[in-house]
């Protein structure tokens, strides 16, 4: 018998509500800074690659350690606010990506469990449809559509004409 119930831990409805409320609170807290960029905007403004980030970090370091070497044409207060915001957002994005990865992993295990249970139910339905048990032939016909191209599916019972 294959592995089943790879993830039998489930959130209570109170915890689901708390998580949804936390996401809503996060969306509300970030609403003033979130911007929808067009594909063209992302192309135009998204040119700060890793090398350019290192450049910005070096400019920041020089401004912090030797401000007399910094250009007077730059609004350094705004530069520092942008730099701080960027770092804060990068930290939040990293944490959120970690949460998303863990949620996807848990969901994958639940999906697997559901599919394996569905296969067991389909096998049972196939058996019962073969015995002409009431209702199972209709259920079998409805479910077999998902296995028409799958050569590894259980052999269907002979249909009566």
Question: Left (φ > 0), alpha (ψ -120 to 50) or beta: where does 13 sit?
Answer: alpha
Q: What is the DSSP string of 105-116?
A: HHHHHHHHHHHH
d(CA 88, CA 76): 18
Taking only the tens place, the pLDDT of each residue in 33-72 is: 988 999 999 888 887 889 999 999 999 999 999 999 999 9
Determine the 3-state secondary structure of 92 from DSSP: helix
- 42 exposed, middle or buried (CB, 10 Å; 0-12, 13-18, 19+)? exposed
- Look at 2-6, 55-59, 85-89, 100-104 and tell me which has the smallest mean pLDDT: 2-6
User: Does the structure show a pLDDT above 90 at 5?
Assistant: no
Domain limits, the chain: 14-147
Mean pLDDT of the chain: 90
Selected residue with higher pLDDT from 157 and 116: 116
For residue 79, what are the contacts with CB-CB under 8 A and spacing of at least 6? 60, 63
Determine the pLDDT at residue 22: 96
Residue 8 has pLDDT above 90, yes or no: no
């Amino acid at each position: 018998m294959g592995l089943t119930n790879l993830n039998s831990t489930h959130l209570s409805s109170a915890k689901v509500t708390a998580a949804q409320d936390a996401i809503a609170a996060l969306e509300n807290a970030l609403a003033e800074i979130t911007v929808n960029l067009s594909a063209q905007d992302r192309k135009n403004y998204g040119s700060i690659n890793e090398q350019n980030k290192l450049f910005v970090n070096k400019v920041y370091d020089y401004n912090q350690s030797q401000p007399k070497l910094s250009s007077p044409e730059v609004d350094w207060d705004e530069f520092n606010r942008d730099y701080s915001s960027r770092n804060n957002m990068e930290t939040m994005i990293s944490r959120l990506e970690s949460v998303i990865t863990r949620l996807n992993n848990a969901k994958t295990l639940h999906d697997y469990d559901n599919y394996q249970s569905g296969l067991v139910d389909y096998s049972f339905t196939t058996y019962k449809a073969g015995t002409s048990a009431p209702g199972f032939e209709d259920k079998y016909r409805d479910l077999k559509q998902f296995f028409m191209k799958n050569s590894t599916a259980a052999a269907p019972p002979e249909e009566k004409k």
